Amino acid sequence: MTATNSDNRCKIQSVLFVCNQNAVRSPMAEALANRHCKRRVFVESVGLIAGNLDPFSVAAMQEDDLDISEHQPKPIGSVDTNLFDLIIALTPESRDHIEKTRAGGNFELEYWPTPDPSDAEGNRNQVIDSYRLVRDRLEVRIADKFDFSSK
């Protein structure tokens, strides 16, 4: 496992986003990264287990003109993590899993602590606001990480 810095961004050819169920955070990150990378980087997402796609995630992404409604949540065992240059863990559980299963591997691991918006309480507007907040925070991180404008 190696540390990352902004100079590595042009070396990244594949990125895997990992969360707990591949139902909220990682599909959002995958869609946002695909938009920013513009096919210059292979992007995929998985969860520690495969959950059910969250309709609030779909709605929040639709507001940003991204359609994730056809996303099929996948467990981490369904991909070969050795094929990815960069793995971005969005939860402490996924970070711990990657550290244990890929110890000593030649890849970059970044941990982007991302709250679970499905834990939000309140009325529909309050709940969807929590999804928007996660979407917007991921957007900023991804735009910074995968800025190809100067390339």
| Domains of the chain: residue spans and CATH | 8-143 (3.40.50.2300)
Per-residue tokens: 12: 């990244």
Per-residue tokens: 52: 């059910």
pLDDT for position 10: 53
Parallel/antiparallel/unpaired status of strands 42-47 and 14-19: parallel
| Whole-number Å distance between alpha carbons of 51 and 114 | 17
Are residues 108 and 7 in contact, defined by beta-carbon separation less than 8 angstroms? Answer: no
pLDDT for position 6: 42
pLDDT for position 151: 47
pLDDT for position 25: 98
**Regions in the chain scoring below 50 on pLDDT:** 1-9, 151
Q: Which of 13, 17, 4 is nearest to 88 (CA)?
A: 17
- The DSSP secondary structure of 58-112, one letter per residue, reads HHHHHTTT---TT----BGGGS-GGG-SEEEE-SHHHHHHHHHHTTT-SSEEEE-
pLDDT for position 39: 82
pTM attached to this predicted model: 0.90
